[in-house]
Structure 1
Amino acid sequence: MDRYFVVHAPRQTGKTTGLRTLASELTAEGDIAALKFSCERAKVAHDDVGWAESMLLDSIREAARRSGWPKKLLPPDPWPQATPGSRISAALAEWCHRSPRRVVLFFDEINALQGDSLVSFLCQLRDGHNARPDGHPFPASVILCGLRDVRDYKTAVGADPGRCNPTSPFNIVTESLRLGDFTADQIGELYGQHTEATGQEFTKDAVDRVFELTQGQPWLVNALAHEITFEMGVTGAITAGHVEDAKERLIRARAIHLDSLAARLHEPRVRRVIEPIVAGTVPSMDGSIDDDVSYVHDLGLIRGTMDLEIANPIYREVLLRVLGDRTARLVRSDPRSFVMRDGRFDLERLLREFVVFWREHGEVIVQQEGYHEAACQIILMAFLHRLVNGGGYLDREYAAGTKRLDVLVRWPYTGPDGERLVQREAMELKVWRAGKEDPLPEGLAQLDGYLDRLSLTTGVLVIFDRRPEAPPWNQRGTFDEATTPSGRQVTVLRG
């Protein structure tokens, strides 16, 4: 207590629920009046400081009224008169002066404040915070809760995030806390509560698959369980197969949480981070990239700020599906025509069909693709998704600096004796860029390691030629056979 904090985490990670619970528990102790309220309605005010202050004070008053507190704890009505730009400071000081308890405030959705409104609010908060040692009444503790760390509020108002001067309104925060994701054990414990309440068990394989797909992202963990138990109506033990089906349903439905992430992909600072991850290239080394990386990490799109990887397999899937939407609309082949008589998937035919598609549409799509450096990867993934995801699954692995994108096609089918089997086909994508050597040797070595990890004996290496001297588009799409360093036979497609 007596400190000011920033709590930040991606959307749908339990921030609001946690703050509401904490406020209730602190107030119940008897010597604190803790209030959680949202700043979201002030977003429309932009740089209008007075309007933003009015909406913030209205939000505080409404939240206090809904709390059921006795009248002596409620804020003053009306708020004291003050000049715009000092109304928050005056209002909070008057409330704390009258209150028989210490006032603690949780500003949820603080990222809604923008521009001059944000600067004015933080300056008032800082002035009130610094005046407390002289007996000036002001909230005993404050949490600013939102998507971003305090450094990103500096960026939002044009300040230099790398500098901290004594008069900065941003330096009152004692600590910035980021809410973490669930561990595998915590997911098991959470799902165990459902088992205790209903008797319905999540098998260990199901829990492990949930952790693998979500990496503990709280919204995804809960959404998968809800999809299985309520939307799919599973009544018996929940298996990894149910989890797989629920994942596909969530992605296809583009649930609001996934849609909100997808909407960020075309923000310039998000694209600067995500594009080299998809392309496998090295991110820009200019001074602003670190702040962009931190911003994308705070959004929850990437796992960390050092090794740039998408946060979890579900986000990897959503990201490439969203970026490939326009390409997928051009794919006219019937997915059912790629299923062979024995139930297996005809990957060889799919590759031949892709060559036809690539020669006809590739040049135009590459030129129009906003993620220009990752255009080849996005186009092939869109083609695969359109034709495989009707009855099979695509697993993708990619990260910045790897110079590759690994793909695993999993196709369930019924064997001759009625047994359930899964066909697995591995592919690796590489790009031959201007001024670089032919990536074939490196690609064969990398694909060799991927096949070894999957215990597969064959695979496909796709090499896209992005050099100015590449063959004409109508001549691209040749097939060769090659041998990996360990002796595996692979198909090489040059596009």
Structure 2
Amino acid sequence: MLPPTQRLPQARVLIEMDRYFVLHAPRQTGKTTTLDTLASELNAQGDIAALMLSCESAKAAGDDYAAAESLLLDSLREAAEESGWPEKLLPPNPWPQSSPGSRLRAALREWCRRSPRRVVLFLDEIDALQGNSMVSILSQLRDGHNARPKGRPFPSSVVLCGLRDVRDYKVASGGVSDRSNPASPFNIVAESLRLGDFTADDIAELYGKHTQATGQEFTKDAVDRVHELTQGQPWLVNALAHEITFQMKVTGAVTCERVEEAKERLIRARATHLDSLVARLHEPRVKRVLEPVVAATLPQADPTFSGDLSYVRDLGLIKLKPPLEVANPIYREVILRVLGDPFEQYVMAEPRSFVLPDGRFDLPRLLQEFVIFWREHGEVLIQQEGYHEAACHIILMAFLHRLVNGGGHLDREYAAGTKRLDVLIRWPYTSPDGERLIQREVMELKVWRPGETDPTHDGLAQLDRYLDRLTLTTGSLVIFNRRPEAPPWHERGVFEHTTTPAGRQVTILRV
């Protein structure tokens, strides 16, 4: 593993300044490990008693803030007793008597009054607190913080660790979401730290440690491919390497091909981390942000959209900076696969029947089969898809996945506002002389929506740019007609052969 505290150098500075702050990042990015290591380093200094505890047990309390207080205090005592501290550093036993809604503040005050060291408190999984319990706990922390200038003892630093940014905790504790109220300890947006993803150098260092320990190398191309697929998301970086070295039991140097295989295995297995993301897809706030991303349209922004956008970013589903797109290629593939899963059962064609005698993939026949499929099922399936605006993209991707992914790979690129979805089919085959080759086929997907002009001209220009980037000479443009004046369903599916602005011969399919 990488040295945890090196990923968060600002935290140590803020703690030395006696600040209260938030550390947030998506799940399974290393927050808990980082804080646990930081607590150990602080305790080793000799002048700080740093304690980390999880708020997870208080989740069961819901709005019952008295029960939440009791559960948190139990967790605090248990964490302190397991720390190995001498008796003089432990919190009081029993806790001081106080009314519900003030017990945590009273307990921390009494502990800090007795402690010969400054107390630093890490509250992990702060998101577990709900409703009135969140309001009560954070209000008590705010009140204790604000009483410190009057000489009342209280932890010198408190770190709230969870998924969300600071503004959500400020609102829950009675503050406001802007940055103009310096009285609140949670009005510290500049010091709301986000644990970042790994850089390409971090991944190389992490995998290099594996090489030092075992002698097994990851080729540079493999490391670069891991960074490309994961964009440095820590769980994915570790999960790919674990899949390769422990599950697949690869010996010798790890290559790009092994990384690709591990990616497929992870996605098919839908590990807990990926399932936890998938479970969010139909939350209204998540759908509101992701639907235009998948549909490649512009979001309907209103005063509440920025809050939804912040929420989905904090979940780690989309990139932190514009353009609005999914955080990494693995998530991008998982999202479309999951949304398309219900439709694969309608695809009756046999995947191996699309393999030509020379081993290549028969894309023209696939498009012809899709026309038959679309005429028969398209109208009904569009109505069934919850991501209604993105239904055409999702259904075609489900069709492609069913027929291509058994022997080939699908790469998808999509983002809000681009008005297209780019698809690259990679199909490995063996030439007559035994050489291993990769067939590459490109498809550009467009939707002709009500009130818009025919997207053919733009689609051909976009297809040209995509082909340029991949150094290919031909491709296909698929245009879905969603206008009321579109042809009847049984007449949809017209093929045209045309030339792009750059002079390439391409196929247009209108469905």
- TM-score by length of structure 1 reads 0.98
2:85 maps to 69
The answer to whether the aligner puts 1:332 opposite 2:353 as a matched pair is: no
Q: 1:267 to 1:169 in 2, by over 3 A?
A: farther
The answer to whether the aligner puts 1:6 opposite 2:31 as a matched pair is: no
2:315 maps to 299
> What secondary structure sits across from 1:287 in the alignment?
coil
Looking at structure 1, the residues matched to 64 and 323 of structure 2 have their Cα atoms a distance apart, in angstroms, of 40
**Residue 340 of structure 1: CA displacement?**
1.0
**Residue 167 of structure 1: CA displacement?**
6.4
Moved more, 245-254 or 162-171: 162-171
**Residue 306 of structure 1: CA displacement?**
2.9
- What aligned pairs does 1:206-285 form with structure 2 within 5 A after superposition? 206-285=222-301
Equivalent residue in structure 2 for 1:193, among 209, 234, 249: 209
Equivalent residue in structure 1 for 2:443, among 402, 427, 430: 427
Looking at structure 2, the residues matched to 168 and 134 of structure 1 have their Cα atoms a distance apart, in angstroms, of 16
Equivalent residue in structure 2 for 1:148, among 152, 161, 164: 164
Looking at structure 2, the residues matched to 41 and 30 of structure 1 have their Cα atoms a distance apart, in angstroms, of 30
- What aligned pairs does 1:71-220 form with structure 2 within 5 A after superposition? 71-154=87-170, 161-162=177-178, 165=181, 170-171=186-187, 175-220=191-236
Judge conservation of contact 1:443–1:461 (CA < 8 Å) in 2: yes
Looking at structure 2, the residues matched to 16 and 464 of structure 1 have their Cα atoms a distance apart, in angstroms, of 47
Structure 2 counterpart of 1:394, which letter? L
**Residue 152 of structure 1: CA displacement?**
2.8
2:7 maps to none
Q: 1:167 to 1:158 in 2, by over 3 A?
A: closer
Q: 1:416 to 1:378 in 2, by over 3 A?
A: same
Looking at structure 1, the residues matched to 188 and 449 of structure 2 have their Cα atoms a distance apart, in angstroms, of 48
Looking at structure 2, the residues matched to 459 and 305 of structure 1 have their Cα atoms a distance apart, in angstroms, of 31
Q: Deviations over 1:414-450 (max 9, x none)?
A: 1111010000000000000001100000000000110
**Residue 119 of structure 1: CA displacement?**
1.0
Judge conservation of contact 1:3–1:173 (CA < 8 Å) in 2: no
Structure 2 counterpart of 1:440, which letter? T
Q: Deviations over 1:278-301 (max 9, x none)?
A: 111111120111111111111101
Q: Deviations over 1:315-364 (max 9, x none)?
A: 00001001111011221211111111111111111111111111111111
Moved more, 479-488 or 159-168: 159-168
2:459 maps to 443
2:374 maps to 358
Judge conservation of contact 1:412–1:420 (CA < 8 Å) in 2: yes
**Residue 163 of structure 1: CA displacement?**
6.9
Judge conservation of contact 2:89–2:116 (CA < 8 Å) in 1: yes
Looking at structure 1, the residues matched to 340 and 78 of structure 2 have their Cα atoms a distance apart, in angstroms, of 44
The answer to whether the aligner puts 1:399 opposite 2:425 as a matched pair is: no
**Residue 161 of structure 1: CA displacement?**
2.9
1:371 maps to 387
Looking at structure 2, the residues matched to 172 and 120 of structure 1 have their Cα atoms a distance apart, in angstroms, of 20
Judge conservation of contact 1:122–1:170 (CA < 8 Å) in 2: no
Looking at structure 2, the residues matched to 199 and 299 of structure 1 have their Cα atoms a distance apart, in angstroms, of 36
> What secondary structure sits across from 1:270 in the alignment?
helix
> What secondary structure sits across from 1:324 in the alignment?
helix
Looking at structure 2, the residues matched to 217 and 412 of structure 1 have their Cα atoms a distance apart, in angstroms, of 28
Count of paired positions:
495
Q: 1:118 to 1:277 in 2, by over 3 A?
A: same
> What secondary structure sits across from 1:257 in the alignment?
helix
Looking at structure 1, the residues matched to 267 and 26 of structure 2 have their Cα atoms a distance apart, in angstroms, of 18
> What secondary structure sits across from 1:78 in the alignment?
coil
Q: 1:157 to 1:333 in 2, by over 3 A?
A: farther
Judge conservation of contact 2:20–2:186 (CA < 8 Å) in 1: no
Q: Between the two proteins, what is the percent identity of the paired residues?
A: 76
2:55 maps to 39
Q: 1:74 to 1:299 in 2, by over 3 A?
A: same
Judge conservation of contact 1:294–1:305 (CA < 8 Å) in 2: no
Judge conservation of contact 2:146–2:185 (CA < 8 Å) in 1: no
Q: 1:141 to 1:157 in 2, by over 3 A?
A: closer
Structure 2 counterpart of 1:94, which letter? E
> What secondary structure sits across from 1:463 in the alignment?
strand
Judge conservation of contact 2:355–2:362 (CA < 8 Å) in 1: yes
Q: 1:41 to 1:314 in 2, by over 3 A?
A: same
> What secondary structure sits across from 1:485 in the alignment?
coil
2:479 maps to 463
Q: Deviations over 1:60-117 (max 9, x none)?
A: 1111111111121111111111111111100100111111111101000001111111
Gaps of 5+ in 2: 1-15
The answer to whether the aligner puts 1:480 opposite 2:496 as a matched pair is: yes
Q: 1:355 to 1:159 in 2, by over 3 A?
A: farther
Structure 2 counterpart of 1:161, which letter? S
**Residue 396 of structure 1: CA displacement?**
0.6
Looking at structure 2, the residues matched to 278 and 493 of structure 1 have their Cα atoms a distance apart, in angstroms, of 20
> What secondary structure sits across from 1:458 in the alignment?
coil
Equivalent residue in structure 2 for 1:389, among 405, 409, 428: 405
Looking at structure 2, the residues matched to 283 and 77 of structure 1 have their Cα atoms a distance apart, in angstroms, of 55
> What secondary structure sits across from 2:303 in the alignment?
coil
Looking at structure 2, the residues matched to 178 and 51 of structure 1 have their Cα atoms a distance apart, in angstroms, of 30
**Residue 166 of structure 1: CA displacement?**
6.3
The answer to whether the aligner puts 1:57 opposite 2:73 as a matched pair is: yes
Looking at structure 1, the residues matched to 346 and 461 of structure 2 have their Cα atoms a distance apart, in angstroms, of 33
> What secondary structure sits across from 2:187 in the alignment?
coil
**Residue 189 of structure 1: CA displacement?**
0.7
2:5 maps to none
**Residue 170 of structure 1: CA displacement?**
3.7
CA RMSD, 1 decimal: 1.5
Equivalent residue in structure 1 for 2:430, among 390, 399, 414: 414
**Residue 160 of structure 1: CA displacement?**
5.7
Looking at structure 1, the residues matched to 46 and 184 of structure 2 have their Cα atoms a distance apart, in angstroms, of 35
Looking at structure 2, the residues matched to 157 and 127 of structure 1 have their Cα atoms a distance apart, in angstroms, of 10
Looking at structure 1, the residues matched to 151 and 433 of structure 2 have their Cα atoms a distance apart, in angstroms, of 83
Judge conservation of contact 2:354–2:362 (CA < 8 Å) in 1: yes
**Residue 12 of structure 1: CA displacement?**
0.7
- TM-score by length of structure 2 reads 0.95
Judge conservation of contact 1:4–1:173 (CA < 8 Å) in 2: no
